[in-house]
């Protein structure tokens, strides 16, 4: 499978994933946020979810006002799994440079404290000042009628019209720029930040930030969700207070800063590839020829490792069946690569 060619930007300093994670937490701690540990992939006391599929899962009751904590601002990095239900990337894994079953979400939170303006300003400052990403390589989208968020991007951040887009109409069935964890629960309009990977990757005039999932030029890196509503079976009602829930994929951000064409080329995955290549005796050309299978194995090895660490074991139903499905798919791709001996334990040791 082919990977796009990127022009290196000397203004962007490469950082390892561990450093990105540390700097994210420190940035928000310096701005009054409490660091909260990652929750288990198995949601605690939530029967509506099979797995933790977003950073907001452990804060769901805080967002609705059902639970009160000692802090109004939080920062975390949360392991998430998307293999079932509303958010399901299983079939895309290995085929695209950016989709995973398991990924790590960096997030900052406001529970009835700051709202849209501060969330946008914090995100812009972290990306452009702390990490040094040139502002002219960033774009933003907003929900169709969220003129306040759009005005912050336009009038305060200074984004030009060609790097802003409006989209989404949840009542007409278009969920773009409107986020909800599941069929019920906290939800609200959102503003996505996209990175411009280069005009040479554009596939035509339709290639704008709101089509980044289909055009290789744009990469969505951060989603700022403005929690205003509680989705109930009978409809949406206002939450008791407004909150901010942001999520940024560590894997995608690492690909931007390390200036590689795929998440699978970052230091979060290359050690797994290297060990598998060692087991198979593959050279770089053979790796590229079999990249799809390598990427499936690398992704699923991470998911399997953390699921077992969180107490899930293979079975014929529920979470255990999903784990079993991940293991079988990874092993199948190992067989396609010619590996007949067990190898998943070796992958887990690298993870």
DSSP 303-317: HHHHHHHTT----SS
Q: Report the distance separating Cα 176 and Cα 241, nearest Å.
A: 23
Please check whether residue 178 is in contact with residue 192, taking contact to mean a CB–CB distance below 8 angstroms: no
Last residue of a domain, one of 226, 257, 288: 257
Whether the CB-CB separation of 254 and 263 falls below 8 Å is answered with: yes
Burial (CB < 10 A; 0-12, 13-18, 19+), residue 277, is middle
Range of the domain at 291: 269-350
pTM to 2 decimals? Answer: 0.93
Angle at the Cα of 13 from the Cα atoms of 297 and 24, rounded to 5 degrees: 70
The answer to whether position 302 is within a domain reads yes
Q: Does one domain contain both 308 and 237?
A: no
DSSP-based three-state secondary structure for 190:
strand
Strands (E), the chain: 34-35, 73-81, 102-111, 138-143, 164-167, 178-180, 185-196, 218-232, 235-249
| 264, part of any domain | no
103 and 247 housed in the same domain: yes
Reported residue count of the chain is 351
Residue pLDDT tens, the chain, 351 long: 556 678 899 999 999 999 999 999 999 999 999 999 999 999 987 777 899 998 988 998 999 899 999 999 999 999 999 986 555 666 678 778 888 999 999 999 999 999 999 999 999 999 999 999 999 999 999 999 999 999 999 999 999 999 999 988 888 888 889 988 677 788 999 999 999 999 888 888 778 786 656 688 899 999 999 999 988 888 899 999 999 999 999 999 999 999 999 999 999 999 999 999 999 999 999 999 999 999 999 999 999 999 999 999 999 999 999 999 999 999 999 999 999 999 999 999 999
In sequence order, the β-bridge partners of residue 218 are 196
Domain total in the chain: 2
Other beta carbons within 10 Å of 132: 12
The answer to whether residue 154 is domain-embedded is yes
Q: Are residues 244 and 279 in the same domain?
A: no
Angle at 288 between CA 282 and CA 293, to 5 degrees: 80
In a domain, 25, yes or no: yes
Give the integer Cα–Cα distance in Å for 163 and 180: 25
Spatial distance between the Cα atoms of 204 and 131, rounded to a whole number of angstroms: 30
pLDDT tens figures, 268-312: 999 999 999 999 999 999 999 999 999 999 999 999 999 999 999
Least Cα distance to 123 among 107, 136, 137, 145 occurs for 107
Domain final position from 257, 288, 316? 257
Identify whether residues 207 and 287 lie together within a single domain.
no
**Domain CATH number, residue 68:** 3.30.930.10
């Amino acid at each position: 499978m082919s990977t796009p060619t990127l022009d290196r930007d000397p203004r962007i300093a490469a950082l390892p994933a561990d450093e990105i994670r540390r700097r994210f937490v420190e940035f928000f701690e310096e701005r009054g946020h409490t660091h909260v540990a990652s929750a288990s992939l198995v949601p605690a006391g939530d029967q509506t979810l099979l797995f933790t599929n977003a950073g907001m899962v452990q804060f769901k009751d805080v967002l609705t006002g059902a639970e009160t904590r000692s802090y109004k601002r939080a920062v975390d990095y949360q392991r998430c799994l998307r293999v079932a239900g509303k958010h399901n990337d299983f079939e895309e894994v290995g085929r695209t440079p950016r989709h995973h079953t398991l990924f790590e979400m960096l997030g900052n939170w406001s529970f009835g404290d700051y709202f849209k303006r501060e969330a946008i300003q914090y995100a812009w400052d972290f990306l452009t000042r702390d990490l040094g990403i040139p502002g002219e390589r960033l774009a933003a989208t907003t929900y169709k009628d969220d003129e306040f968020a759009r005005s912050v991007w336009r009038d305060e951040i200074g984004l030009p019209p060609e790097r802003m887009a409006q989209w989404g109409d949840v009542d007409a069935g278009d969920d773009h720029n409107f986020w909800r964890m599941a069929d019920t629960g906290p939800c609200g309009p959102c503003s996505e930040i996209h990175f411009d990977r280069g005009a040479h990757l554009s596939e035509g005039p339709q290639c704008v930030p709101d089509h980044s999932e289909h055009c290789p030029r744009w990469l969505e890196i951060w989603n700022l969700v403005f929690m205003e509503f509680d989705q109930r079976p009978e409809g949406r009602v206002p939450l008791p207070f407004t909150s901010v829930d942001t999520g940024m994929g560590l894997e995608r951000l690492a690909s931007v800063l390390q200036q590689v064409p795929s998440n699978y080329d970052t230091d979060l995955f290359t050690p797994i590839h290297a060990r598998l290549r060692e087991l198979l005796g593959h050279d770089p050309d053979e790796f590229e020829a079999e990249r799809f299978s390598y990427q499936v194995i690398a992704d699923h090895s991470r998911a399997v490792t953390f699921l077992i660490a969180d107490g899930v074991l293979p079975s014929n139903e529920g979470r255990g069946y999903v784990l079993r499905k991940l293991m079988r798919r990874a092993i199948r791709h190992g067989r396609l690569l010619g590996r007949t001996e067990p190898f998943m334990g070796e992958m887990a040791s690298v993870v």
